Structure formats: structure tokens, C-alpha cells
Amino acid sequence: MRYGSIDPQLFSENRRRFTEQLPAASLAIFHSNDVMPTNADGTMPFRQNNDLFYLSGVDQEESILVIFPDAVLPQYREILFLKETSEHILVWEGYKLTKEQARQQSGVRTIMWLEQFKTVLPALMNEAENVYLNTNEHIRAVVEVETRDARLGKWLREAYPLHQYRRAAPILHHLRAIKSEEEIRLMRRACDITDKAFRRLLGFVQPGVMEYEIEAEIYHEFLRNASRGPAYGSIIASGANACILHYVSNDRECRDGDVLLLDFGAEFANYAADLSRSIPVNGQFTKRQRAVYEAVLRVMKFATSQLVAGNNIEDYHAAVGRTMEQELIKLDLLNESDVRNQDPAAPLYKKYFMHGTSHYLGLDVHDVGAKYRVFEPGMVYTCEPGIYIREEGLGIRLENDILITKTGNDDLMKHIPLEADDIERLMRQGRN
């Protein structure tokens, strides 16, 4: 893997914490993602199932992890099943993990080839009472493609109908919300690569450049720094495009006088960074653009101060909303009297700031975790307020990634230029 080695203790510890949550006689099974087809004989780039990666560190297709802490035979308490390589696979696809490499990478001692899974499984099922199966239960997920995990679950229920089948997702959502030191190290690297890409853009963006050319510069910097690429579809939105929250066409010309909204982040070792910045295409904000920018920045700084242990998402978003209301009043976008008399269930600021301020970040960009869980040290949240004025063709969003600590928080992107003066200065320098 281009990201190099990761301390296998991370994955061993993740399995230990997962095992602690299992009742007696429980077996858990995790599958890798499928290699998804395109057309003809084409396939999409492989992306590992995040739960399997979290528990094993294996980043290879056709892999299965079995966790059965109460197995009578010690060698069956953790098993990794891998695709056995061959001379044909080596020639056409490249190297696959050997058993010893898999042991070193995962910390799992028992490694078997994939064809042994259905031979070993009956003995495990004979001892197990509960079977934990994995599904993608993200609150935003729309699942229309049957996964390897889903196919396994369907087959197991037919072959072993009298077992108790349970959900692994709630346990993993609880565990993955708190990041370890090794995970934070990987996320910092993703943020550092994202910083390099943003600084590259400050010397590149100018009137006449196409949005997709800017996206190409981002890809270039990501790949040359050992990232597999973007953690999500990059948003390169100039002018009025910035008022489309998930704009990914990236096919327009950037014009003199536009503000360019950038929302992108590097993936490193499957971990995501998530950055938003808004910069003037010609290198100089107008008075109005700067006023809106500074308003968003003040909301961002306030919101960051509230991302601390003991707070919760509902109180946090309510406080951020009140702060945004005052900024929108100063910008003459809202009327103070109207705000006082508004319907609390439909706050007026939502016309200009219609999305949430923060979400979990980790192996997924919108990472898993209980939405209403009280903030705890080790959680990582984005902080991304924005103001979108469609009638002015102006959208500004600013976003950093915030680690909650025991003593407050740590901005993982504090080294990435943010102040309007710094943006303008660096754009001038980049053109000289």
C-alpha cells in the first residue's frame, strides 16, 4: 500500500474493544467490499469495507474476518480468510498478501485461504448461539446494491435458521466515534496533504481557469503525497455554483469577480480529511464578499469553541444558529424584528445557512457514530458554517476538522490559511 505500514496494535486493540461488547457464545463475521463493475470487463477502483479495515488493517478484496472469543480452540478465536494468490493472479493483478504478511499487518495469528471458510464455518456455528452480522446502517445511506455482507446474512439464515442474528453496526458505531492516537496520526497526515493541495491552488487560481483544471491540481498534489485520491467528490464551485451545496460538475470557467468555493479533502490510509475554503478568483475580495467571509469566519470560530467535551449536537447547533442569526442581521439579510417573531421550528437563518455545522469524521467523511451522543475526547468533528446568497450569486463556506480533547479541542487544520488577509497575500505571492 502506498501509505506504508500501520502499527498492527491499532487493529488488535480495536478487535479487543469490539470483543468486550459481545455476549457469551457470540460469533461475528465481516466481509470486504465487492469489486464493483462498470461496463464490459471494467471495474471501479477497489475500496475496502471500513469496518473490516478498522478491525484488521487488511485492504484487500475477497477477505473475511471472523471473531469468536469463546471458541473452544484458541486458533479459531480470530481468523482471517484471504484470497490465495497464484501465478496467473500475480501476472494479471499483482501481489496479494501472504499469510505471514497478513499476520504482521493485522495481528491475527490464524490466516486461512478463502476456500476454507465454508469448511471451518460449520464447526464455529455449532458452538455459537449469537451471530453478529455487519450492515451499512448510516443514517444518510441509501443502499440499493446487495453487499457481500448482505449475501452472507441471507445464506446463513437459510442454512442456520435457529441461531440468533444480531447487528454489529451499533457496537462499531460506538467504538469508531472515539479515535485512537494512531488514527489521529493518519488523519493529521490526510490534513497535511490537503494543506499542500490548497496552497498549490492559491498560486494557480485566476480568471479564465476552468473548475476542472483546479480539480486536476488537487488530484496531482494528493497523488504525489501518497494519497489514493480525494476522500469524496471534490466541490470546485465558482460564482453562483457555490450556492449548490453538493455541486460536483466542476465544468465552468472561473470569472473575474467570482468567489470560488472549494470543498475537498485527501484520503490517507482510508482516513478522510474534509476542508472548505472560499477564495476570490482575482485574488482580492470585494467589500461585500469580505463582509460575508468575515461573518462566516466569526461563526466558525464561535462554533469551534463549542466543540468541547460535555456539549451535545442539539445544544451546539442551536447556539451556532443564534450566532448565525446575528451575523445575517448585520449583513442586512435578516430583519431583527422578524427574527424575534419567527417560528422556532423554522428559523429564518436556514434560508442562507441550510445545512448542519458539524458531522463526525474518520474512515468515512460522514463517519459513523450516534448523532445525539455527548461530545467526548477522541471524537473528530468537522466545523463548516456557510452563507449562501443566491440572489447575489455568492456562497461562502469555511471548514476545518476538530479533535475534541480533555482540555478543549485541537484544530487539525489550524496550519491551513484561513484569514482573508492571508488568503489575499498568498494569492499575490503565488502570482509573482
Active-site residue (options: 217, 274, 327, 364): 274
Active site residue 359: yes
Active site residue 31: no
Q: Which residue has the higher pLDDT, 145 or 254?
A: 254
Active site residue 148: no
Residues 372-401 have pLDDT tens digits of 999 999 999 999 999 999 999 999 999 999
Active-site residue (options: 15, 31, 176, 397): 397
Helix (H) or strand (E) holding 276: strand 275-280
Active-site residue (options: 16, 109, 246, 322): 246
Closest CA to 401 of 274, 305, 245, 265: 274
Q: Please name the residues in contact with 85: beta carbons below 8 A apart, sequence gap of 6 or more.
A: 95, 96, 98
What pLDDT is stored for residue 241 in this prediction?
Answer: 98
What pLDDT is stored for residue 390 in this prediction?
Answer: 97
Active site residue 263: yes
Residues 13-46 have pLDDT tens digits of 999 999 999 999 999 999 999 999 999 989 999 9
SS3 string, 225-241, reads: CCCCEECCCCEEEEHHH
pLDDT at 1 over 80: no
- Tell me the DSSP string of 248-266: ----SB--TTPEEEEEE-E
What pLDDT is stored for residue 119 in this prediction?
Answer: 96
E runs forming strands in 319-419: 380-383, 386-389, 394-397, 400-405, 408-411
What pLDDT is stored for residue 86 in this prediction?
Answer: 79
Active-site residue (options: 263, 367, 401, 424): 263
Active-site residue (options: 16, 109, 220, 355): 355
All 3 cell numbers of residue 135? 450492515
All 3 cell numbers of residue 25? 457464545
Summary mean pLDDT of the chain: 96
Active site residue 165: no
Range of lowest pLDDT (91-95, 197-201, 211-215, 264-268): 91-95
Domain boundaries, the chain: 9-176, 181-431
Q: Indicate the CATH number for domain 181-431.
A: 3.90.230.10
What pLDDT is stored for residue 139 in this prediction?
Answer: 82
Query: What is d(CA 241, CA 417) in angstroms, rounded to the nearest whole number?
Result: 23
pLDDT at 11 over 80: yes
E runs forming strands in 38-159: 64-67, 78-82, 110-113, 130-133
What band does 189 get if pLDDT is binned at 50, 70 and 90? very high
DSSP letter at 37 equals B
SS3 string, 149-210, reads: HHHHHHHHHHHCCCCEEEECHHHHHHHHCCCCHHHHHHHHHHHHHHHHHHHHHHCCCCCCCE
Average pLDDT (303-315) is 98
Active site residue 336: no
Number of C-beta neighbours around residue 224 at 10 A: 11
> What 3-state class would DSSP assign to 381?
strand
Average pLDDT (302-331) is 98
What pLDDT is stored for residue 95 in this prediction?
Answer: 83
pLDDT at 427 over 80: yes
- The number of helices, as runs of H, and strands, as runs of E, in the chain is 13, 17
Active-site residue (options: 41, 158, 332, 343): 41
Active site residue 88: no
Active-site residue (options: 138, 174, 200, 366): 366
Residues 50-82 have pLDDT tens digits of 999 999 999 999 999 999 999 999 999 999 999
pLDDT at 85 over 90: no
pLDDT at 192 over 80: yes
Active-site residue (options: 51, 384, 401, 424): 384
Q: Which residue has the higher pLDDT, 430 or 427?
A: 427
Residues 96-125 have pLDDT tens digits of 899 999 999 999 999 999 999 999 999 999
Query: What is d(CA 383, CA 178) in angstroms, rounded to the nearest whole number?
Result: 17
Average pLDDT (272-283) is 98
Give the pairing type, strands 380-383 and 266-268. Answer: unpaired
* Bridge partners, 64 (sequence order): 31, 81
Average pLDDT (302-322) is 97
Q: Indicate the CATH number for domain 9-176.
A: 3.40.350.10
